[in-house]
Amino acid sequence: MTHSVQLLGISNAIVDILAHIEYEFLEEIGAVPGSMTLVDMDRAREIYAAMGPATEMSGGSVANTIAGFANLGGSSAYIGRVKADQLGGIFNHDMRSLGVDVRLEAAPDGAPTARSHILITADGQRTMQTYLGACTELSVDDITAKSMGTPRAVLIEGYVWDLPEGPELTRKAIAIAKQNGTTVALSLSDSFCVERHRDSFDHAVRNGVDIVVADEDEINELVKADSFDDALEAIRTYDNLFAITRSDKGSVIVHGDEYIVQAATPVDRIIDTTGAGDAYTAGFLFGWVNDKPLAECAKIGTFCGTQVIQQIGARIEPGLLDSYS
């Protein structure tokens, strides 16, 4: 089969609004350092007005991965819901400027475009105040054979399960992918998200998902393990390919009896950890769709994640692989 693009992403479409701040600012707005808090539109406007100079770009976990994948030289497409407002225009223009095929037009009405205020302190810690808005209006009707096309792989964000029609639309996406010979990858997103939807996630992983991308806490939560070693034993009973990040311990690739450890790369200074896992996923899947050995996929993923934590924002810069060896 001829694939329309290498990678399609389905996720919550969120505009990242990034700013460097002092800890005093977090105290002023009543934010817990390092936390992610959902806020309403009025609160979002208050924070935006108070936070000072900021960088705005398309964001959300899988959207970051798709943008990074495009900047690595991969062909990609994206399904997510924004409104036809200022931030919705920023999101779609930003993605399209990278060569991403944005499959849904902005909605003329409904909730405003989602945005996440990412407040970064000098030590690189990020505190997020997030308004979900229009992204929660992604619906089953948005997922069709036409909108999905025939990508080599589709990457679905775990947070999509939180949407009103999330579980149903993900089942539909997996079914369409299977009909078209598309590999299905799932990003588990967050350990609390896994806790909320563990049974549904486990069913999807055992019935349609081919690749699972997660961090150590998310995998432990998925299989209800008390330790990572216990989690490794549990996932060996699955048929899936697992790519698991472990922060400064590197990453682990597990596929049945195949077990690969990729060491982390030391860095002198961490500027911003935003999107490190998303960048890893972009690099890993870029290697995978280009038929690289799994060890090489993990190495590319680690290289991408390492670069991202040394800059502000989650975006892999164009030409990054020119310095890869």
DSSP string, 48-88: HHHS-S-EEEEESHHHHHHHHHHHTT--EEEE---BSSHHH
Among 57-61, 156-160, 161-165, the range scoring the smallest mean pLDDT is 57-61
Q: For residue 289, what pLDDT is reported?
A: 97
Q: For residue 1, what pLDDT is reported?
A: 60
Is 2 within the bounds of a domain? no
Q: For residue 126, what pLDDT is reported?
A: 82
Tokens of 161: 């399960």
- Report how far apart the first and last C-alpha atoms of the chain are (Å, whole number): 32
Count up the domains in the chain and report the number: 1
Is 202 within the bounds of a domain? yes
Mean pLDDT of the residues in the chain: 93
26 pLDDT band (50/70/90 cuts)?
very high
Q: For residue 274, what pLDDT is reported?
A: 67
Tally the C-alpha atoms within 13 A of residue 24's C-alpha that lie toward its C-beta: 0
292 pLDDT band (50/70/90 cuts)?
very high
Residue 212 has pLDDT above 80, yes or no: yes
Q: Read off the pLDDT of each residue in 216-230 and give the average, rounded to a whole number.
A: 95
Is 308 within the bounds of a domain? yes
Q: For residue 214, what pLDDT is reported?
A: 96
Among 92-101, 109-118, 314-323, the range scoring the smallest mean pLDDT is 314-323
Q: For residue 252, what pLDDT is reported?
A: 96
Q: Read off the pLDDT of each residue in 222-231 and give the average, rounded to a whole number.
A: 95
Is 50 within the bounds of a domain? no
Domain that holds residue 236: 7-11+60-110+135-323
Tokens of 67: 């943008």
- Choose among 159, 111, 190, 201: nearest CA to 9: 159
Q: Read off the pLDDT of each residue in 151-166 and give the average, rounded to a whole number.
A: 96
Q: Read off the pLDDT of each residue in 31-55 and give the average, rounded to a whole number.
A: 91
Is 125 within the bounds of a domain? no
Q: Read off the pLDDT of each residue in 230-256 and give the average, rounded to a whole number.
A: 93
**For the chain, how big is the Rg over CA atoms in Å?**
18
Is 293 within the bounds of a domain? yes
CA distance 209 to 295: 21
Query: Could you read off the pLDDT of 268-282 as tens digits, one per residue?
Result: 777 766 678 999 999
Residue 309 has pLDDT above 90, yes or no: no
Would you say how long the chain is, in residues?
325
CATH code for the domain of 310: 3.40.1190.20
